[in-house]
Chains A and B, each alone.
Chain A
Amino acid sequence: MKSETKQLLRGTEAIGESAVRAGCQCYFGYPITPQNELTEYMARRMLEENRVFLQSESELAAINMVLGASATGKRVMTSSSSPGISLKQEGISFIAAMELPSVIVNVMRGGPGLGNIAPSQSDYYQATRGGGHGDYRTLVYAPASVQELADLTYEAFDKADAYRIPVMILADGMMGQMMEPVTFKTKPKDPKKLPSKKWALGGSKGRSSRFIRSLILNPDLEEEHNWRLYRKHQRIEEREVRFEEYNMTGANIAVVAYGTAARIAKAAVKRCVDKNMHVGLIRPITLWPFPMKHIYEAAGTVKHFLTFEMSAGQMIDDVKLAVEGRAGVSLYGRPGRVVPTPAELSRVITRTYNKIMKDYE
């Protein structure tokens, strides 16, 4: 696909094309709605590029294939949707413990259980708290446009390599299916010219053999390993936080939303601003690390934070942690399948705004 020119792409295709451009050498996946177009796109494109595509027998197998390929230093990706991501958690925990770079796409759907195939944001806890067993984190990006899906997927591979950590693209059914113009800003990377990974396995030619493991039976060494992971997580918290602000100067109320919800929120906030309300939007782009410091600082002037999530309220916990009681925090949640319109949300914001401002009068 051509660079620099605008083209109309579906979200899932933008992820796939961006992965190819980032030099993704292996893709392993198992079909699940609503992300099948990504798996299908990779089937076609990886074949064209003479790279590895494999449809696995399960999500468990796919994530463990990711583990194997990543251990040899390959750039590797898998994708799925909520129930499938639950299955992958075993492997993600191992991958995090073994510090293997990998990119994992979750095109979220309604849950719990099989739920439905409509867009949802109910995997926030799972994505931002590690997801599997043990004390670890994954770097989580929450794109809110097809262009951002493309940009963040491309970058995810670099971040995964830089920190030796699993990076998750947390999209949802609407992001995946939506078509928008996309420009690929950088030239495709040649996988053969990617920097070599000194820790990777590849046969012990010219060096002594090495192994990659997560089993550390010695409690002192296991504690040391955990603290080392913790320090890495701290570095990521210091350097990798990303968010977008809209109309936050002088805002009395800040809406906090990510991904699809943030798009709706932006349109709703615009409506409120048109009616002379001092309302702004904070859109976390990284969900872990979460923009804690920024929201804490905003709480110095903002009177109330209204989180809008397509769930029964998960990110709200992080907002509360960030605010540290310095301002009010409330939720407008729509779990299950219903995606509200900007008009609906603007009415919720208006109600909250009027109530808060009345309390302050």
Chain B
Amino acid sequence: MSKVMKKRKPARPSTMKDAVTHYCPGCGHSVIHRLVAEVIEELGIQDKTIGVPPAGCAVLAYNYFDVDMVEAPHGRGAAVCTGIKRGNPELVVFSYQGDGDLAAIGTAEVIHAANRGENITIIFVNNAVYGMTGGQMAPTTLLGMKTTTSPIGREAHREGNPVNVCELLAVLGGSAYLERTAVNSVKGTIRTKKAIRKAFRTQLEGRGFSLVEILSPCPTNWKMSPQKSWEWIDEVMMKQFPLGVIKDTGKGEA
């Protein structure tokens, strides 16, 4: 191997532990973990950050992030973050939540944290399905999408409509920065990292509640190849969940 090649091999950020993740092949979590870890490293906030993992596939996030972490009961990430941040305004506090955790059981907590303008950051991973429990319908499951608990496909009159979290939070006074991105392409991954950095910066500047919603593939439960799942995000998911900055009080609403 040439020296040039060695240099190019991406180093593990100092904010990640030397561990092999338990995530399925093609899952977006590993990529998103790395992006969050890189941002924490680049902002130099590793030693004053507290992370809150969810119940769900990312429950073991504390095995991967090399920052202080405390587990939240299912859906309560925003409330746990609120307690940490209110007691310790000098710390940087983030929760990492999936769509079931944040948009079903934890809806009240996230809405009120956003409305109070809690100065916290939420990394919201939307893969339209309950991953850890084995592929049940999520609040973000698309219409027509088959899951183990919507076996003939989700229909609005029977299972309700997909929840658009960013748009929901945008109308609240306390939300400062909301962006939706996707990690199904190199470009999207770079954009996602920028959004995560912006979200943490929003907190560091004391501007209030920030959340990045990341469309993320779940090949296992979507029963697709990783490649097909990337395409599916482009072709299907983005129609329901359009990408972009949904709200940014830093430069007027987008």
Q: What are 20 contact pairs spanning A and B, CB under 8 A? A: A28-B83, A60-B109, A64-B80, A65-B83, A65-B86, A66-B83, A68-B81, A70-B83, A72-B50, A72-B84, A91-B73, A94-B71, A201-B70, A203-B50, A203-B67, A204-B47, A204-B68, A208-B66, A209-B46, A209-B66
Q: Given known contacts A202-B68, A204-B67, A215-B71, is B80 in contact with A65 (CB within 8 Å)?
A: yes
A184-231, CB < 8 A from B: 201-206, 208-215
Residue of A at shortest CB range from B118? A54
**Choice from B48, B62, B87, B108 contacting A68 with Cβ under 8 Å:** B87
Task: State whether the Cβ of B69 lies closer than 8 Å to any Cβ in chain A.
Answer: yes
Render B82-125 as a binary contact track against A, CB cut-off 8 A, 1 for contact. Answer: 11111110010000000000000000110110000000000000
Q: Chain A contacts of B136 at CB under 8 A?
A: none
CA distance A240 to B130 in the complex (A): 45
Q: Given known contacts A204-B67, A212-B71, is B109 in contact with A64 (CB within 8 Å)?
A: yes
Question: Which has the most chain B C-beta neighbours within 10 Å: A52, A57, A74, A91?
Answer: A57
Q: How distant is A85 from chain B, measured CB to nearest CB, in Å?
A: 16
Residue of A at shortest CB range from B17? A209
Interface residue count on the B side (C-beta < 8 Å): 34
Question: When the two chains form their complex, are residues B79 and A71 in contact, meaning their CB atoms are under 8 A apart?
Answer: no
Task: State whether the Cβ of B76 lies closer than 8 Å to any Cβ in chain A.
Answer: yes
Question: When the two chains form their complex, are residues B87 and A25 in contact, meaning their CB atoms are under 8 A apart?
Answer: yes
Q: Chain A contacts of B183 at CB under 8 A?
A: none
Residue of A at shortest CB range from B112? A57
Q: Chain B contacts of A28 at CB under 8 A?
A: 83
Q: How distant is A253 from chain B, measured CB to nearest CB, in Å?
A: 46
Question: When the two chains form their complex, are residues A203 and B91 in contact, meaning their CB atoms are under 8 A apart?
Answer: yes
CA distance A60 to B87 in the complex (A): 18
CA distance A214 to B59 in the complex (A): 11
Q: Chain B contacts of A25 at CB under 8 A?
A: 87
CA distance A204 to B50 in the complex (A): 9
Q: Given known contacts A26-B87, A71-B84, A215-B59, is B67 in contact with A60 (CB within 8 Å)?
A: no
Q: Chain B contacts of A209 at CB under 8 A?
A: 46, 65-69
CA distance A66 to B87 in the complex (A): 10
Q: Given known contacts A57-B109, A61-B112, is B73 in contact with A90 (CB within 8 Å)?
A: yes
CA distance A201 to B19 in the complex (A): 22
Q: How distant is A46 from chain B, measured CB to nearest CB, in Å?
A: 11
Question: When the two chains form their complex, are residues A203 and B87 in contact, meaning their CB atoms are under 8 A apart?
Answer: no
Q: Chain B contacts of A65 at CB under 8 A?
A: 79-80, 82-83, 86
Residue of A at shortest CB range from B62? A211
Task: State whether the Cβ of B138 lies closer than 8 Å to any Cβ in chain A.
Answer: no
Task: State whether the Cβ of A302 lies closer than 8 Å to any Cβ in chain B.
Answer: no
A67-B72, A71-B70 known, 15 other contacts, Cβ within 8 Å: A54-B86, A57-B112, A60-B76, A61-B76, A61-B79, A61-B108, A65-B83, A68-B79, A68-B87, A69-B84, A72-B87, A98-B70, A205-B47, A206-B47, A212-B71
Task: State whether the Cβ of A7 lies closer than 8 Å to any Cβ in chain B.
Answer: no
Interface residue count on the A side (C-beta < 8 Å): 40
Task: State whether the Cβ of A76 lies closer than 8 Å to any Cβ in chain B.
Answer: yes
Task: State whether the Cβ of A58 lies closer than 8 Å to any Cβ in chain B.
Answer: yes
Q: Chain A contacts of B81 at CB under 8 A?
A: 68
Q: Chain B contacts of A183 at CB under 8 A?
A: none
CA distance A5 to B189 in the complex (A): 65
**A-B pairs with CB below 8 Å: how many?**
132
CA distance A76 to B47 in the complex (A): 24
Question: When the two chains form their complex, are residues A76 and B71 in contact, meaning their CB atoms are under 8 A apart?
Answer: no
Render B42-77 as a binary contact track against A, CB cut-off 8 A, 1 for contact. Answer: 000011111010000001101001111111110010
Q: How distant is A86 from chain B, measured CB to nearest CB, in Å?
A: 15
Render A1-32 as a binary contact track against B, CB cut-off 8 A, 1 for contact. Answer: 00000000000000000000000011010000
Question: When the two chains form their complex, are residues B71 and A203 in contact, meaning their CB atoms are under 8 A apart?
Answer: no
Task: State whether the Cβ of A56 lies closer than 8 Å to any Cβ in chain B.
Answer: yes
Q: Chain B contacts of A210 at CB under 8 A?
A: 68
Q: How distant is B224 from chain A, measured CB to nearest CB, in Å?
A: 28
Q: Given known contacts A66-B83, A68-B83, A69-B87, is B62 in contact with A94 (CB within 8 Å)?
A: no
Q: Chain B contacts of A66 at CB under 8 A?
A: 83
Question: When the two chains form their complex, are residues A52 and B86 in contact, meaning their CB atoms are under 8 A apart?
Answer: yes
CA distance A69 to B86 in the complex (A): 8
Q: Chain B contacts of A204 at CB under 8 A?
A: 46-47, 66-68
Q: How distant is A55 from chain B, measured CB to nearest CB, in Å?
A: 10
**Choice from A57, A61, A74, A212 contacting B87 with Cβ under 8 Å:** A74
**Choice from A57, A58, A67, A90 contacting B80 with Cβ under 8 Å:** A67
Q: How distant is B236 from chain A, measured CB to nearest CB, in Å?
A: 33
Question: Which has the most chain A C-beta neighbours within 10 Å: B76, B83, B88?
Answer: B83
Q: Chain B contacts of A70 at CB under 8 A?
A: 83
Residue of B at shortest CB range from A68? B83
Q: Given known contacts A76-B87, A98-B70, A203-B68, is B50 in contact with A54 (CB within 8 Å)?
A: no
